[in-house]
Chain A
Amino acid sequence: MSTLTPTTRDTAPANAEAAAPRAAAKRPKAWGHRSRGASIALHATLICASLIAVFPVVWVALTSLKPDDHWQRTGDFSGLSLDNYTKVLGDSSFTTWFLNSAVVSVGTTVVGVFISASAGYAVSRLRFPGHRALMWTFLVTQMFPVAVLIVPVYTILTKLHMTNTYGALILVNCTVAVPFCAWMLKGYFDTIPREIDEAGRVDGLTPFGTFWRLVLPLAKPGLAVTGFYTFLTAWAEIAFARTLMSDDAHYTLPVGMGTWIGQFKSEWGMMTAASVLITLPAAALFFFVQRHLVSGLTAGSTKS
């Protein structure tokens, strides 16, 4: 009955490739010309804005190259070195924390995107009692402050013997990211023509088969954006990770680094290097998906 077999997965990318150029071809065209002055003003504004956007990051990166406590000397860029990085990477825990973070974030991304896509599809395509209420509930779950949920969540996970496990953190991170992702993907699925689903039905696919084999491959930009969002959420999460992972070997990167602040009160140099190292994976992923960001984020919600 179920069509979910390894062979069906292999056919999926082919569909997606066919769809990609069509999306890329839809680029804005000029509807007016602008004067030279307007062009200069346009570029000047954007250059200013870009500088503001990038400056804090560049500043941290620059500071991370300064030796010892030179971070205190704002204008002094003498003797730049990688000392801070060797110190951070030399800390044996860093690798452990990095791997923990990687496992949790990738896990959250896979689980989170899959369950929000399936829920988003169900709400977009299938009529069932409560499908309106479900979307509203997603929104409501974003309203209760996470900070206040920490204690009850901790109690529950202790009862389930799940503290200090990756699974616990993955589940918790999912609840933070999933409601928004489901909303976004529902909107994205709405833009995919229903005829595709009907064609799938005619070929005898189950609703799940249609979703998995036909619709998901077409929703790649949407999936890329939600994946990016989920990954970032999990990668940067501190509050839950701090409470749920109580032993050193299970710390995620941000939590582990947090312990340095106490240990070495003035080690801002080390913090800057660690900040850069934490940002790198997120930045790498960002460059990978940024092409999809614009189309993925709102292709759905504009069509009403």
Chain B
Amino acid sequence: MISKLRRSYDERWYAWAMIAPVVLVLGVIVVYPLVQGLYYSLTDINEANMGRTIGVNHIPASFTFVGLDNYIDVLSGADGEFYARLTWTLTWTVACVALHYSLGLGLAMLLNRPMRMSGLYRVLLVVPWAVPVFVSAFAWRLMLNKDNGVINAVLEGVGIGGVDWLGQPTTAKLAVIMVNVWVGVPFVMVALLGGLQAIPKEQYEAAALDGATAWQRFRHVTLPGLRPVSSTVVLLGIIWTFNQFGVIYLVTEGGPFGSSELLVTYAYKLGFANVRDYAMAATYGTIILSMLLVIATAYRRTLDRRQEAAA
């Protein structure tokens, strides 16, 4: 009894020791800045008034506490950007996650069949994942170039005529979604392929014996079997896509006329544009965080409820 107690006590210390490095690193580099960000969002801090030391001269900080003014400014629509950015961010997230998931699942199911060269296909299909995002973005900009891009060359070749992809809001939005889908499908595909391989073959055999059609097998064996993987992949997908910075920033820089600017890239611009408005950037950051928290919690709840209903 005593030894058992001691062991659980020891175990606790070991556990804490083993998570300490992660907690320390995340604490210093994420949590502390995050708390500071929360505080900044309640002030009017910017580049000019944040205080700094130039050589021997120390300029004291002179920003003031403004309460919820920034939030009121943003949420009332007074800053003129928030709701436009929000609508586009939501459209972008839904479109990208839906395409990632459906294409990823489709390809995973094809790859999961016994066939020749499946190893080769798998390697080729994962290539976009292995390419650094800024290289992918650069490659696509090269291909989407209005006058010299290969895509327009092909379109002109078949007589449709070139499109100024990155020069018009609608086509620019289509283009960034296309690029992001290209970048993101391999991860989902690989994750779901792993999930598919873990579904016991007996379940399919039993279903086939019962005379289930292909669709019924998919609906009642594949999808439920994938649920644990799917839920993680979709949740991470939502968070990553919502906060996707690289693709937008590198392909369109938010343009044209700010039309493809997501909440994240807009927040970045606020913090790093001509007048560095740290307070507003932090406000946007906080709003993004709260929205993702709500979405993630709601998603989790729904899953739990559905799981209970199924059990």
- Chain B min CB distance to A135 (Å): 11
Q: How far is the CA of A47 from the CA of B118 in the complex (A)?
A: 11
Q: Are B29 and A172 in contact (CB under 8 A)?
A: yes
Query: What CA separation (Å) do A270 and B146 show in the bound complex?
Result: 20
Whether A268 pairs with B142 at a CB distance below 8 angstroms is: yes
1/0 per residue, CB under 8 A from A, across B117-143: the answer is 100011111111111111110111011
CA–CA, A209 and B117, complex, Å:
42
Instruction: Determine if A171 and B245 form an interchain contact, defined as CB atoms under 8 angstroms apart.
Output: no
The interface on chain B, measured as residues whose beta carbon lies within 8 A of the other chain's beta carbons, has a size of 102
Q: Closest residue to A228 on the B side, CB-wise?
A: B130
Among B18, B111, B288, point to the contact of A126 (Cβ < 8 A).
B18
- The distance in angstroms between the C-alpha atoms of A239 and B127, with both chains bound, is 23
A238 smallest CB distance to B (angstroms): 6
Question: Quick check: which of A13-21, A83-91, A139-147 contacts chain B, the rest being far away?
Answer: A139-147
Distance in angstroms between the alpha carbons of A208 and B15 in the assembled complex: 9
Q: Which of A52, A75, A293, A298 has the most CB of B within 10 A?
A: A298
B161 within 8 A of A: no
Is A272 an interface residue when CB atoms closer than 8 A count as contact?
A: yes
Say whether, besides A53-B127, A59-B139, A74 and B14 are in contact (CB < 8 Å): no
If the complex has contacts A39-B115, A235-B132, A302-B195, are A74 and B15 also in contact, measured as CB distance less than 8 A? no
Tell which of A28, A119, A283 touches B201, judged by Cβ atoms closer than 8 Å.
Answer: A28
Please judge, given known A-B contacts A144-B288, A145-B245, A302-B198, whether A275 and B26 are in contact too, CB under 8 Å. no
Contact A151 B191 (CB under 8 A): no
Stretch of B33-41, B70-78, B79-87, B90-98 on the interface side: B33-41
Q: Are B197 and A152 touching (Cβ within 8 A)?
A: no
Tell me the A123-145 residues at the B interface (CB within 8 Å). Answer: 123, 126-129, 131, 134, 137-145
In the assembled complex, A99 has its CB within 8 A of some CB on chain B: no
Please report the C-alpha to C-alpha distance between residue A299 and residue B194 in the assembled complex, in whole angstroms. 6
Cα(A134)–Cα(B126), bound, Å: 31
Closest to A148 in B: B285
B105 within 8 A of A: no
- Chain A's nearest CB lies how many Å from the CB of B38? 10
Given A46-B111, A56-B143: A290 and B123 interface contact (C-beta under 8 Å) = yes
Q: Does A45 contact B (CB under 8 A)?
A: yes
Contact present for B139 and A60 (CB under 8 Å):
yes
B56 within 8 A of A: no
B33, B267, B276 interface centre (most CB from chain A within 10 Å): B33
Q: Does B298 contact A (CB under 8 A)?
A: no
Decide yes or no: A254 and B132 within 8 Å by CB, A28-B114, A32-B208, A59-B150 being known contacts: yes
> Contacts A122-B14, A208-B14 hold; do A74 and B148 have CB atoms under 8 A apart?
yes
- Cα distance, A180 to B233, chains bound together (Å): 11
Q: Chain B: which residue is nearest A221 at the CB level?
A: B194
Given the interface pairs A144-B289, A146-B243, A271-B138, the reply to whether A156 lies near B32 with Cβ below 8 Å is: yes
Number of A interface residues, CB 8 Å?
102
User: Does the CB pair B143–A59 fall under 8 Å?
Assistant: yes
> In angstroms, how far is the closest chain B Cβ from the Cβ of A33?
10
Shortest CB-to-CB span from B93 to chain A, Å, is 13
Contact between chains at B148 and A297 (CB < 8 Å): no
When distances are taken between beta carbons in the complex, the residues of chain A under 8 Å from B138 are: 60, 271-272, 275
Considering the chains assembled together, what is the distance between the CA atoms of A28 and B132 in angstroms? Answer: 32
A30 to B8, CA, bound (A): 47
A49 lies within 8 A of B125 (CB): yes
Q: Are B228's CB and A304's CB within 8 A?
A: yes
B70 CB to nearest A CB, Å: 13
Return the CB mask of B266-294 against A: 1 if under 8 Å, else 0: 01100100001010011011001100110
Whether B1 is near chain A, meaning CB under 8 Å from some CB there, is: no
Please encode chain A, from 240 to 270, with 1 for each CB lying within 8 Å of some chain B CB and 0 for all others: 0000000000000010000000000000100
Cross-interface CB contact of A301 among B107, B113, B229, B296, cutoff 8 Å = B229
Instruction: Known contacts A28-B114, A118-B18, A119-B19; decide if A236 and B29 are in contact (CB<8 Å).
Output: no
Indicate whether B149 reaches chain A with its CB closer than 8 angstroms.
yes
Complex formed: what's the CA distance from A123 to B11 in Å? 12
B226 CB to closest chain A CB (Å) equals 8
- B19 smallest CB distance to A (angstroms): 5
Q: Mark A1-45, 1 if CB is under 8 A from B, else 0.
A: 000000000000000000000000010111110100001001101
Contact with B along A156-186 (1 / 0, CB 8 A): 1000000000000001101100111011000
A96 close to B (CB within 8 Å) = no
Residue in A29, A60, A175, A254 whose beta carbon sits within 8 Å of that of B26 in the complex: A175
A214 at the interface (CB under 8 A from B): no
Q: Contacts of A95 on B, CB cut-off 8 Å?
A: none
Contacts of B125 in A (CB 8 A): 46, 49-50, 53
Question: A56 and B182: CB pair below 8 A?
Answer: yes
What is the chain B residue whose CB lies nearest that of A282?
B130
Q: In the assembled complex, which residues on chain B have CB atoms less than 8 Å from the CB atom of A139?
A: 235, 239, 296
Task: Say if the beta carbon of A71 comes within 8 Å of chain B.
Answer: yes
Q: How far is the CA of A299 from the CA of B229 in the complex (A)?
A: 9
* A56–B182 CA distance with the chains assembled, in angstroms: 10
Residues of B within 8 A of A (CB): 8, 10-12, 14-19, 21-23, 25-26, 28-34, 36-37, 40, 107, 110-115, 117, 121-136, 138-140, 142-143, 147-150, 153, 182, 186, 190-195, 197-199, 201, 204-205, 208, 225, 228-229, 232, 235-236, 239-240, 243, 245-246, 263-265, 267-268, 271, 276, 278, 281-282, 284-285, 288-289, 292-293, 296
Residue contacts A-B, CB under 8 angstroms, 9 given: A71-B148, A74-B149, A74-B150, A144-B285, A148-B268, A208-B18, A275-B139, A293-B126, A298-B194
